[in-house]
Amino acid sequence: MEILQYTAEHRIFREAVRKFFEKEVIPHVDEWEEAGIVPRSIWKKMGDQGFLCPMVPEEYGGAGADFLYSVIICEELTRTNHTGLAAPLHSDVVVPYITEFGTEELKKKYLPGCCSGDTITAIAMTEPNTGSDLAAIRTTAVEDGDMVVLNGQKTFISNGINCDLLVLVARDSVIENPYEAIDLYLVEAGTPGFEKGKKIKKIGWHSQDTAELYFTDCRIPRANRLGYKGTGFIMLMQKLQQERLVCAIAAVAGAENLLDLTIKYTKERTVFGKPVSKFQANQVKIVEMATEIKLGRTFLDKLIADHIEGKNVVTEVSMAKYWTTEMARRVADECLQLHGGYGYCEEYPVARAWRDVRVMSIFAGTNEVMKTIVAKMMGL
């Protein structure tokens, strides 16, 4: 019995998403990688097809669909073997903060654009001297009547160049307890005092517009705060379960896709008169990878099912995030090796996958932090 119960509607949706990516994304990936960014037009095309923010309620422009639709989009996008079009970040990480914690006015104002692709979102947590330790952030938010004045710097912000709307993590410097000082604010691109820095050059993720962001006396309405004052840290903790689950989904789907490509290659490539796949040493490697991927898939699907049921699986998701991303790294390395010299050439997809997978054990909380969370939950 399958753990996840996909309906006929889910299967039809997956086929539609796959065909869309085959037509509108895959033929342009090399171009986007060279440009270092994806065009805004592809976001609009996704929105037109209903492939953005599927879980947003219908009254705000979404489909009111279940999380499995987001899983399908994430898996199929991962199989395009590029990372520039960070739609899962937008749909399943950033927008849920607005959907759940925004006022009715904020939801009516921003969610329709998020669903249509007219508004691209990002979330700004990380700072130059602060990574996974959110309680140590330095970006400040000082209330001034009906306005809030923001000052600080963020870095490694995915969708940083393209973003129209930002969920910003900032703190009230007057409050001593760091966990009670944090709030989340919506900041529009173009607001005076909010500047986008240069796109960061990275080892991988070449088409992802990762950027530095700067705030200098940036004034926004106090009404742009999400939730009640002082509850930002709690909101982040509530939503990190889904963010890290999305990471695990991408890791497993990426590993599955890469192994499929590699098996095909080893069956076609001959060495010493026989296919590479016929050598016992290579068969052992392939079987070991297939086994790890299957284990990861089974664990992941159970967590997706639990998450849909509303269960608290923070501990298990932290385990999955670190294990699946490290598994994906091992798979990418072995698959590149099985490609031989061609695996190190840009014309073969394994080269990009090998570069891109490396950061997955760093973002959304490093894997070391994931293990620390699990250790704490275990009472160690």
What is residue 2's predicted lDDT score, i.e. its pLDDT?
A: 85
Contact of 329 with 356, CB cutoff 8 Å: no
Domain 8-118, CATH number (from 2.60.40.1080, 3.30.1300.10, 2.60.40.180, 1.10.540.10)? 1.10.540.10
pLDDT, residue 197, reads 95
Topology given in CATH for the domain delimited by 233-377 = Butyryl-CoA Dehydrogenase, subunit A; domain 3 (1.20.140)
pLDDT band at 380 (very low <50, low <70, confident <90, very high): very high
Summarize the confidence of residues 111-120 as an average pLDDT: 98
Instruction: Over range 57-85, report the average pLDDT.
Output: 96
- 1 pLDDT band, cuts 50/70/90, is low
Whether the pLDDT of residue 132 is over 80: the answer is: no
How far is the C-alpha of 124 from the C-alpha of 184, rounded, in Å?
Answer: 10
Residue 44 to residue 115: CA distance in whole angstroms: 9
In a 10 Å sphere around its CB, with 0-12 CB exposed, 13-18 middle and 19+ buried, how is residue 153 labelled?
middle
Q: What is the mean pLDDT of residues 160-186?
A: 93
Torsion angle of the four alpha carbons 256, 329, 32, 86, in this order, in degrees rounded to the nearest 10: 80
Residues 243, 256, 292, 334: which is the catalytic one?
Answer: 243
Arithmetic mean of pLDDT, 166-180: 91
Q: What is the pLDDT of residues 329-373, one digit of tens each?
A: 999 999 999 999 999 999 999 999 999 999 999 988 899 999 999
Q: What confidence tens digit (pLDDT) does each residue in 213-260 have?
A: 999 999 999 999 999 999 999 999 889 999 999 999 999 999 999 999
pLDDT, averaged across the chain? 95
Per the annotation, the verdict on 268 as an active-site residue is no
Per-residue pLDDT band at 174 (split at 50, 70, 90): confident
Fold of 123-230: Butyryl-CoA Dehydrogenase, subunit A; domain 2 (2.40.110)
Query: 156: alpha, beta or left, given left = phi > 0 and alpha = psi -120 to 50?
Result: left
Residue spans of the domains in the chain: they are 8-118, 123-230, 233-377
